[in-house]
């Protein structure tokens, strides 16, 4: 996610905002573990993504009905739902679910946080941002981390994983594209609940034909209790992620929310160790430090930009 979501930095971060940011940063990487659990149990990746987005849609629709915050269906909203739902949910989450059995959970968590530097690189190409020294350093740090990861003889458990890792780069690229597109097409008066519901509903609808095209049709409940719990857990995480993202960016500012990326890396590596018994070489840790440094430079640059 990026500060391109809004043009003005808010300064109203409270202890509650900090707690919520830490909470979602810790919980979000669990999605990658749930992906692995479900796909390993035999649920096709696209089907798993469909069921988790459908579940999230039902939850958000229920909350929206109670709060009277249902999605709006004017064309500007529908366009935002479809575009952001595709590039921010359907495509990258399906890809990550498919790769969850091919790459370590911790490595996927590290890869995903490349979204901020890629967001800035795309923004330069779209002329939404101007070239700044600190941000260029952030991009170089981020891609320096990738160079460490694509040396398979130094850190990945199997040398052929490098190709899966390169494919995984499409996910943060898709998230980065979403950030830029959201800055252009997201309606300014979009309540968090209704807009999140519109996004995940659009993603679920788009995944239906994809399931048939790729022969990933799957009917739940699954015989495995853990697979069913994985779908439920992923649905809840998806709801929390998009609600808190929209709420925190609006209340405390995008630069504040960008710190979510630090928590994701640390939590993702930690969940991989605790739940999957994964171990990482020094190169993975150094790559994580470089990528975190990249996010730090981008955040620092944003703070300087917004200081009165």
Q: What is the model's pTM? A: 0.79
If you search the block for the tokens 């008066």, which residue do you land on? 189
pLDDT at position 306: 47
Biggest CA-to-CA distance, the chain = 58
Question: What percent of the chain is modeled with pLDDT above 70?
Answer: 85
Question: What percent of the chain is modeled with pLDDT above 90?
Answer: 25
Mean pLDDT for the chain overall = 81
Query: 50-54, 119-123, 196-200, 224-228 — which is least confidently predicted?
Result: 119-123
Q: Using omega within 30 degrees of 0 as the cis cutoff, is the peptide bond preceding 221 cis?
A: yes
Any idea how long the chain is?
308
pLDDT at position 154: 47
pLDDT at position 7: 38
pLDDT at position 234: 93
pLDDT (tens digit, 9 = 90+) per residue, 110-169?
Answer: 888 777 778 778 877 777 677 777 777 777 777 777 777 666 544 555 556 778 888 998
Cα(102)–Cα(160) distance, integer angstroms: 10
CA angle 18, 23, 266 (to 5 degrees): 100
pLDDT (tens digit, 9 = 90+) per residue, 230-278?
Answer: 999 999 998 888 888 777 777 776 666 667 777 888 888 888 888 888 8
Please answer whether residues 226 and 41 qualify as being in contact, where contact means their C-beta atoms are separated by less than 8 angstroms.
Answer: yes
pLDDT at position 155: 52
């Amino acid at each position: 996610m990026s500060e391109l979501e809004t043009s003005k930095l808010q300064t109203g971060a409270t202890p509650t905002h900090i707690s919520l940011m830490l909470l979602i940063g810790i919980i979000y990487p669990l999605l990658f573990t749930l992906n692995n659990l479900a796909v390993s149990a035999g649920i096709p990746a696209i089907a798993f993504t469909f069921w988790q987005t459908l579940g999230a849609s039902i939850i958000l629709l229920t909350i929206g009905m109670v709060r009277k915050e249902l999605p709006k269906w004017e064309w500007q909203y529908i366009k935002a739902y479809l575009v952001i739902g595709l590039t921010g949910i359907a495509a990258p989450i399906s890809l990550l679910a498919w790769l969850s059995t091919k790459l370590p959970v911790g490595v996927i968590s590290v890869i995903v946080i490349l979204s901020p530097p890629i967001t800035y690189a795309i923004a330069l190409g779209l002329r939404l941002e101007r070239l700044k020294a600190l941000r260029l350093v952030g991009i170089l740090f981020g891609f320096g981390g990738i160079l460490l990861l694509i040396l398979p003889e130094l850190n990945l458990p199997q040398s052929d994983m490098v190709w899966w890792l390169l494919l995984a780069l499409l996910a943060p690229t898709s998230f980065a594209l979403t950030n830029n597109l959201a800055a252009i097409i997201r309606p300014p008066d979009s309540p968090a609940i209704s807009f999140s519901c519109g996004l995940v509903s659009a993603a679920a609808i788009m995944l239906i034909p994809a399931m048939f095209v790729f022969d990933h049709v799957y009917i739940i409940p699954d015989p495995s209790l853990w697979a069913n719990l994985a779908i439920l857990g992923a649905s809840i995480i998806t709801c929390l992620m998009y609600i808190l993202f929209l709420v925190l960016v609006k209340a405390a500012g995008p630069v504040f929310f960008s710190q979510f990326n630090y928590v994701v890396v640390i939590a993702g590596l930690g969940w991989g160790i605790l739940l999957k018994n994964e171990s990482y070489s020094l190169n993975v840790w150094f790559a994580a430090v470089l990528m975190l440094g990249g996010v730090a430079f981008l955040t620092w640059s944003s703070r300087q930009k917004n200081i009165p």
